């Protein structure tokens, strides 16, 4: 009887052996924590569709940022939820607006112990919920939006953001923001471009998180889920325009895109494990259908294994705590 000479199972025989030969590992510095701050609330507001995630007050956001820094996380990505909105998202530009104030507060709290990132988009600030200003026919005006994005980038840099994250998928946004930052003397402010951002069904809970007023959809500017090659064009354009890092969003449903981008980009690649991906695992775990900790860990490992250098995930702090405890 012939027996196999090669036995891959030899390297799976114990937890210590599996740990020794693991090809992909998680480290806190690879994780970025998305965080929301809501103007005018006295205490953190739970987000029903995202169990465990809240709309922060200034104090609770500062505490979350301090914990992220203490855990050694790579960064925090800030999103603002203003009390009032208008057609042009003017609150995004005000130095004392909710997001710019939050950047300043978090930067003062953590200094250089954590990379402070800020979402650069109008959707949280407009009364129609789109990522740009609208023309009379209701379509998003790409070039008029770019002018505002440039000013937003400067406002966020002046508030202290280390990295701005343009997420609106307007054509030419990285170039306009880079030029605006440089002209204002913020040459050291980096750009993490949401380069391949798809129009996804999995954004639903995020819209609860930012109290979105969206009317219609974003299919004319976010990418079609059917397209793969187009993502390479979008990434190439952002790199040509000066992106320091690029992102794929969503992550779990687009792991093929993460791999493609990781293979072609010569800058760090991020992927965003979005609200719907988070909510599905939390809901399944709450019903006892899956092992929560194992599912969280496996899901983030899959994104890293696909090629993402960093992962934006709402579990970043929890994963960091598990790593610190030595239980991951």
What integer pLDDT is reported at residue 55 of this predicted model?
Answer: 95
- DSSP secondary structure of 104-133: HHHHHHHTTSSEEEEEE-STTTBSS--SS-
Name the average pLDDT for the chain. Answer: 95
Residue-level pLDDT at 272: 98
pLDDT for 2: 77
pLDDT computed for residue 110 by the predictor: 98
The whole-number pLDDT of residue 217 equals 83
Q: Is the dihedral of CA 133, 137, 138, 142 positive or negative?
A: negative
Residue among 107, 197, 219, 324 flagged as catalytic: 197
Q: How high is the pLDDT of residue 226?
A: 97
Reply yes or no: is the peptide bond before residue 250 cis, omega within 30 of 0.
Answer: yes
- How many CB atoms are closer than 10 A to CB 128? 19
CB 263 within 8 A of CB 309: no
Q: What is the mean pLDDT of each run of 10 residues along the chain (328 residues)?
A: 86 95 96 96 94 96 98 98 94 96 98 97 92 93 97 98 97 98 98 97 82 79 96 98 98 97 98 96 98 98 98 98 89
Q: How many CA atoms lie within 13 A of 250 on its CB side?
A: 20
Nearest CA-CA partner of 144 in 88, 80, 217, 221? 88
| Residue 222 backbone zone (phi > 0: left; psi -120 to 50: alpha; other: beta) | beta
Specify burial of residue 95 (Cβ count, 10 A radius: 0-12, 13-18, 19+).
Answer: exposed
pLDDT of residue 3: 83
In this predicted structure, what is the pLDDT of residue 214? Answer: 76
Ramachandran angles phi, psi of 46, nearest 5°: -60, 145
Instruction: Tell me whether residue 157 is exposed, middle or buried, using C-beta atoms within 10 angstroms of its C-beta: 0 to 12, 13 to 18, 19 or more.
Output: buried
Concerning whether 107 is annotated as a catalytic residue, the answer is: no
Chain-centre distance of CA 113, in angstroms? 19
Active site residue 324: no
Contact residues for 181 (Cβ-Cβ < 8 A; gap 6+): 153, 154, 157, 164, 187, 189, 191
Backbone angles phi, psi at 225, to 5 degrees: -60, -20
Catalytically annotated residue among 38, 62, 249, 324: 249
Cα–Cα distance, 120 to 139 (Å, whole number): 20
């Amino acid at each position: 009887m012939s027996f196999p000479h090669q036995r891959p199972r030899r390297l799976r025989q114990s937890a210590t052996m599996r740990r020794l030969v693991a090809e992909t590992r998680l480290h806190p510095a690879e994780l970025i924590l998305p965080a929301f701050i809501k103007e005018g609330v006295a205490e953190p507001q739970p987000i029903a569709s995202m169990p465990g995630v809240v709309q922060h007050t200034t104090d609770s956001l500062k505490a979350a940022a301090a914990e992220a820094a203490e855990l050694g996380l790579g960064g925090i990505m800030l999103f603002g939820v203003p009390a009032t909105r208008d057609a042009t998202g003017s609150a995004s530009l005000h130095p004392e607006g909710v997001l710019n104030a939050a950047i300043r507060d978090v930067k003062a709290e953590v200094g250089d112990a954590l990379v402070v990132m800020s979402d650069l988009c109008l959707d949280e600030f407009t009364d129609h919920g789109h990522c740009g200003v609208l023309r009379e026919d209701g379509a998003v005006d790409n070039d008029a939006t770019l002018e505002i994005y440039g000013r937003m980038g400067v406002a966020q840099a002046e508030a202290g953001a280390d990295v701005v994250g343009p997420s609106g998928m307007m054509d030419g946004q990285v170039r306009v923001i880079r030029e605006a930052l440089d002209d204002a003397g913020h040459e050291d402010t980096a750009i993490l471009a949401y380069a391949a951002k798809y129009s996804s069904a999995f954004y639903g809970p995020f819209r609860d998180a930012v109290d979105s007023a969206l009317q219609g959809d974003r299919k004319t500017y976010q990418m079609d889920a059917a397209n793969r090659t187009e993502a390479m064009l979008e990434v190439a354009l952002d790199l040509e325009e000066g992106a320091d890092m690029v992102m794929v969003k969503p992550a779990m449903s687009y792991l093929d895109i993460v791999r493609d981008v990781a293979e072609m980009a010569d800058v760090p690649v991020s992927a965003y494990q979005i609200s719907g991906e988070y909510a599905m695992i939390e809901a399944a775990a709450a019903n006892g259908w899956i092992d929560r900790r194992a599912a969280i860990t496996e899901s983030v490992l899959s994104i890293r294994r696909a090629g993402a250098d960093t992962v934006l995930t709402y579990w970043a702090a929890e994963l960091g705590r598990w790593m610190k405890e030595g239980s991951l």
